[in-house]
Amino acid sequence: MHKNRFTRIGFILAAAGSAVGLGNIWKFPYIAGENGGGVFVLVYLATVLFIGMSIFIGEVLLGSYAHKDAVTTFETHSPSKKKYWKFSGFTFLTGVFILSFYAVVVGWIFNYVVVAATALPANVQEAESVFMSLLQKDVWTQIFYYTLAFIVIAYTISRGVKKGIEKLNNILMPTLIIILAVLLIYSVQLDGFTQALSFMFSPNIDKFKSGSIIVAVGHAFFTLSIGMVTILTYAASLDKGVNIVKASLTIVIMDTLIAIVAGLIIFSILFSAGQEPGKGAGLVFITLPAVFYEMGSIGTVLAIAFFVALAFAAVTSAVSVLEPTVMYLVERRGMKRKKATYSVSVIFYIIGIFTLLSNTTAFSSLLTFGGKNLFDWFDFISAAILMPIGGIIVAVFVGYIMDQKVAREALVPYIGENLYKVWLFIMRVVAPIAVLLVMLNEMGVISF
Ligand code: PHE
């Protein structure tokens, strides 16, 4: 076995660690809440299972076949006259947008582990003022935790695939799963559980706004970490001989289950306390802490468990956002891993400071344009635009550009000829067309 590569289980945990993150536990419940639950969840699930999973398999296929950084991977697979396809590898630059708001949220979470352990806010008003003052006024507290988050992320990446990424995920992912399982068992017994179930799964067409579809589709890409060569890069460190379809399926199912479980936990707790899920991005930082407080000492334990789980999920994802850029610098530019990590981290860190400041009262007007501040723009640009475009690129590349023998030989032994054809059809036709139509529709270019 190659010395700096994942074991099979190491890869599954690391890729699942990348997929399962803020998207599942922080974002999914609040965007589902904002978009009325039901129909939104169904569009998201359909996109994940058909389009998302196919592209996920495509990225794992490319990565595990080439064993190289993303740019080199696209380059080696391009036909000789179409070497410009190598530029697809640079979709790792989407990571700049993601990490610069993602790491800010990781900072809030680190802060909330402390809040949970020391002083939960006593009611929703107080919770709102705690969160809003962190966000808008306590700039230094925010910068402190944000810096801490970046140090953890950069340190892990600087240690490399085996000693950094694999080790981190081997510890954090199983712990995360155990915590969520315990929280789920607790939630099932709450009065609000059935209401949570029906909120998430009964289609409520009225609440499904225009704009909801692109949020749902964008979220499907975001939650699986596809469309910015993260999964491709992790798969490049995977040894040969692994059933990539089974591994991909396991990861996608894990990611989906964890989003649903997180939603059920959060909505059960909210509904049991008579609260509504409409608080937007503040849902888990405002409503939830106040509800935990009302529960007394068990609430404190649950709150700590919840924020620790959220921190674990977020750190394992944040790390994976950085890896593609670092791997590129190491393999193509001959940099030492440590130097590559620290250079990239410093740049990402500084951009993230602007994102962080865009939420503060002092700087928000400077950093707000077109009705969104920088934080919301980066979230929107990466999830709803860049990652779907990156996904289309992978689908078209794997479906049309690269030698078809590669995919056929890698997949047919595992899934057979018929399923392979279904997969290819999704890559060639369904994924590019569906995602493109949704994007054009939402941008107002076409309307259906
Ligand atoms: N999938 C992660 C989440 O759901 C976010 C992410 C996006 C991670 C892109 C890596 C790359 O939180």
- Residue in the structure block whose two tokens are 């076995």: 1
Specify the higher pLDDT residue, 441 or 113.
113
Higher pLDDT, 228 or 30: 228
Does residue 1 belong to any structural domain of this protein?
no
Query: Is residue 2 one of the residues assigned to a domain?
Result: no
Q: Show the domain range for 402.
A: 8-443
Count how many domains the chain has.
Answer: 1
**Dist CA 224 CA 235 (whole Å):** 14
CATH code, 35: 1.10.4160.10
pLDDT at 200: 86
Counting atoms of ligand 1 from 1, which one is nearest the CA of 387? Answer: 9
**What confidence score (pLDDT) does residue 352 get?**
97
Nearest protein CA to atom 9 of ligand 1, as residue: 225
Ligand 1: atom nearest CA of 21 is 12
Is residue 311 within 8 A of residue 113, CB to CB? The reply is yes
pLDDT of 209 reads: 74
Left if phi > 0, otherwise alpha if psi is -120 to 50, otherwise beta: which for 437? alpha
Which of 225, 255, 381 for mutating ligand 1's site (highest number of atoms within 8 Å of CB)? 225
| Dihedral over Cα of 153, 154, 160, 161: its sign | positive
* Nearest atom of ligand 1 to the alpha carbon of 227: 9
Ligand 1 atom showing the smallest separation from residue 223 Cα:
4
pLDDT band at 2 (very low <50, low <70, confident <90, very high): low
CA of 201 to the centre of ligand 1 (A): 24
**Of 173-177, 380-384, 440-444, which one has max mean pLDDT?**
173-177
Distance (angstroms) between ligand 1 centre and the Cα of 321 equals 7
Q: Ligand 1 centre from 122 Cα, in Å?
A: 32
φ/ψ (deg, to 5) at 447: -145, 130
pLDDT digits (tens, 9 = 90+) for 33-78: 888 788 889 999 999 999 999 999 999 999 999 999 999 999 999 9
Residue 159, domain member (yes or no):
yes
Q: Which pLDDT belongs to residue 447?
A: 64
Tell me whether residue 232 is in a domain: yes
Mean pLDDT value of segment 110-131: 95
Top pLDDT among 33 and 337 is at 337
Q: What amino acid is encoded at 96 in this protein?
A: V
Rounded Cα distance, 426 and 415, in Å: 15
Picking from 108, 64, 15, the residue whose alpha carbon sits closest to that of residue 414 is 64
pLDDT at 1 over 60: no
pLDDT of residue 204: 72
Distance CA 396, CA 381 (A): 21
Instruction: Give the tens place of pLDDT for each residue, 393-434.
Output: 999 999 999 999 999 999 999 999 999 999 999 999 999 999
Q: At 253, is the secondary structure helix, strand, or coil?
A: helix
pTM of the prediction?
A: 0.94
The encoded tokens of residue 328 equal 């590129």
Query: Which of 24, 106, 317 has most ligand 1 atoms within 8 Å of its beta carbon, as the pocket-test mutant?
Result: 317
Confidence band for 202, pLDDT divided at 50, 70 and 90: confident
Inform me whether the pLDDT recorded for 134 exceeds 70. Answer: yes
* Choice from 320, 322, 382, 389 to test ligand 1 binding pocket (greatest atom count within 8 A of CB): 320
Residues paired with 6 in a beta bridge: 238
Identity of the residue numbered 76 = T
Tens of pLDDT, residues 203-255: 777 777 767 888 888 899 999 999 999 999 999 999 888 999 999 999 999 99
Q: What DSSP letter does each residue of 212-240 carry, written as one string?
A: HHHHHHHHHHHHHT-SSSHHHHHHHTBPT
pLDDT band of residue 3 (cuts 50, 70, 90) is: low
Percent of the chain with pLDDT strictly greater than 90: 81
Ligand 1: centre distance to CA 126 (Å) = 31
Name the one residue in this structure whose structure tokens are 């696209």. 74
Greatest pairwise CA separation for the chain in angstroms: 67
Q: Which two tokens stand for residue 423?
A: 């997969």
Exposure letters 165-177 (e unless 16+ CB within 10 A, then b): bbbbbbebbeebb
Contact 24, 223 (CB under 8 A): yes
| Ligand 1, atom nearest to 222 Cα | 7
Model confidence pLDDT, tens digit, residues 256-272: 999 999 999 999 999 99
Structure tokens at 51: 């389009």
The reply to whether 170 falls in a domain is yes
Give the distance (Å) from ligand 1 centre to CA of residue 185: 26
- Please report whether residue 3 resides in a domain: no
Tokens encoding 149: 């988050």
232 phi and psi, to 5 degrees? -55, -45
What would the pLDDT profile of 82-110 be if each residue is shown by its tens digit?
999 999 999 999 999 999 999 999 999 99
Which pLDDT band, with edges at 50, 70 and 90, does 127 fall under?
Answer: very high
Among 40, 365, 22, CA closest to 200: 40
The DSSP annotation for 22-42 comes to HIIIIIHHHHHHHTTSHHHHH
Confirm if 244 and 414 have CB atoms less than 8 A apart: yes
pLDDT band at 148 (very low <50, low <70, confident <90, very high): very high
Ligand 1 centroid, distance to 190 Cα (angstroms): 30
The reported pLDDT for the residue numbered 34 is 81
Q: What are phi and psi of 193, to 5 degrees?
A: -60, -45
Q: How far apart are the CA of 24 and the centre of ligand 1, in A?
A: 9
Rounded Cα–Cα distance for residues 302 and 171 (Å): 20
- The token pair at 248 is 């991909």
Q: Closest Cα to atom 6, ligand 1: which residue?
A: 225
Question: Is residue 146 situated within a structural domain?
Answer: yes
Q: Which helix (H) or strand (E) holds 74?
A: helix 70-77
HSE-up of 337 (CA within 13 Å, CB side)? 16
Beta bridge partners of 372: 369
Residue 413 belongs to what H/E stretch?
helix 404-425
Choice among 176-190, 244-258, 281-295, 392-406 with the minimum mean pLDDT: 281-295
- Give 373's strand partners: 368
Distance CA 56, CA 73 (A): 16
Q: Which residues pair with 368 in a beta bridge?
A: 373
Kindly state the DSSP code that residue 88 receives in the 8-state scheme.
G
Q: What pLDDT shows up at residue 47?
A: 93
Residue 336 falls inside a structural domain: yes
Q: What single letter denotes the amino acid at residue 121?
A: P
Work out which ligand 1 atom sits closest to the CA atom of 320: 10
What is the structure's pLDDT at 37?
A: 82
- Binding-site residues, ligand 1, Cβ < 6 A: 18-19, 21-24, 98, 222-223, 225, 228, 230, 317, 320-321
Report residue 168's pLDDT band, with 50, 70 and 90 as the boundaries: very high
Query: Which residue in 351, 395, 442, 345 sits closest to 227, CA to CA?
Result: 395
User: DSSP character for 6?
Assistant: B
What pLDDT does residue 335 have?
Answer: 96
Local confidence band at 343 (pLDDT 50, 70, 90 cut-offs): very high
For position 403, what pLDDT does the model report?
93
